[in-house]
Structure 1
Amino acid sequence: MLKQGSRALLWRWRRNALKRRSDVVEAWLGVAAVAMLLLSAPTVSVVAAGSKAGASTTVCLDDVGLVQPAPPTPAQANSQGVAFGAAAAAGTGVLVVGGWWAARARLDRRRRAQWELAWAEPDAHQGHRHA
């Protein structure tokens, strides 16, 4: 899609008599979606540490008074944190891309309706409609 440098990629910002307002809105929605992904995915995927190595911790007991399994090792906690962080980033990505897709679908419906009106106008002047 990068024909002749970046001209094809940035066509929505060029001056063009055929450019519609919905084209500009779609372009800015794409920019907003990319910005949201770049800013939110790393933010939601950060696993905040609550204690330092060597700090005392609370041991959980069940109803009978038995000690629950030992907490995960640092390597296990790290891998769980990475997995949960990746899942949070992926979930954020799905939400952002889904919102972008829904907005584009709505813009496409609006554009189709505008095209229908534009095509119906010349037919109305002729007095009949061609099928």
Structure 2
Amino acid sequence: MSGKRVKKRLWRWRNNPLRRHDDIVEAWVVLAMWMVIAVGGAIAGLVTAHAADDVLARQRAERHSVRAVLLTDLPSASSSGDTAERISADVSWTTSDGTAHTGRALVSAGQKAGARVLVWLDAEGRLTSQPPGRVEAGFEAGLLGTAASLATAGVVFAAGAVVRWRLDRRRLDGWDTEWAMVGPRWGHKTG
């Protein structure tokens, strides 16, 4: 990058008799805004991704599958042709201590009563959904981290834009005041 181009980009930082206080403030606001976007966005994304990964890992550790028996016949898959369609149905299962339980769980459509199905239980023995696998959890944690990073960047950018807009308004109001004082002196001068 040429020296002239660098000077042009950093004009607010140079000594210049036309530089106003608001120009210096705006330069610092822009610098701070981009630093917070870069560092704060990265930190927010990493913290969110790590927290989501911990929650999903805890779900994988706490939930376990058991074999259950389907209590009612289920209609076949809808006409959409989705063979993996899951519908809520009554099931019964027996825990490791021999206690029988019944409840409603999502199972594949088209099965008959008495079919063996896999259901998932949480740490308290209640029916729950299947926890995400490691790859799915990693993808979800990454997606949430990216969303947190972008949200942080968006909030900081919007706050910076509001500050810069206020500085522009203040500059325009200053110019109006100065023109109100100088403008009348320039009047009535015709060739």
Tell me whether the two structures share a fold, i.e. TM-score over 0.5: yes
**TM-score, reference length from structure 1:** 0.81
Task: Note the residue ranges of structure 2 that are not aligned, 5 or more in a row.
Answer: 64-120
- Count of aligned pairs between the two proteins: 124
The percentage of counterpart residues that share the same residue type is 27
Structure 1 residues 89 and 56: CA distance shift in structure 2, 3 A = closer
Partner SS state of residue 4, structure 1: helix
State how far apart, in whole Å, the 2-side matches of 1:90 and 1:11 are. 29
Q: What RMSD in Å do the two structures reach over aligned CA positions? A: 2.9
2:175 is aligned with what amino acid?
A: W
User: 2:54 aligned with 1:50, yes or no?
Assistant: yes
Partner SS state of residue 8, structure 1: helix
Q: Which moved more, 1:115-124 or 1:21-30?
A: 115-124
Partner SS state of residue 9, structure 2: coil
Partner of 2:82: none
Task: Note the residue ranges of structure 1 that are not aligned, 5 or more in a row.
Answer: none
- Higher strand share goes to which structure? 2
Partner of 2:147: 87
Partner of 1:121: 181
Q: State the shift of 1:39 in Å.
A: 1.3
Structure 1 residues 42 and 98: CA distance shift in structure 2, 3 A = same
Whether contact under 8 Å (1:45, 1:86) holds in the other structure is yes
Partner of 2:16: 16
State how far apart, in whole Å, the 2-side matches of 1:57 and 1:25 are. 53
- What whole-Å deviation, never above 9, does each CA across 1:77-129 have from its counterpart, x for those lacking one? 000001101110110011010001000100000000000111111235x3979
- Higher helix share goes to which structure? 1
Whether contact under 8 Å (1:61, 1:68) holds in the other structure is no
Q: Which moved more, 1:2-11 or 1:27-36?
A: 2-11
Structure number, greater radius of gyration: 2
Whether contact under 8 Å (1:26, 1:104) holds in the other structure is yes
State how far apart, in whole Å, the 2-side matches of 1:120 and 1:43 are. 49
State how far apart, in whole Å, the 1-side matches of 2:61 and 2:29 are. 49
State how far apart, in whole Å, the 2-side matches of 1:17 and 1:85 are. 46
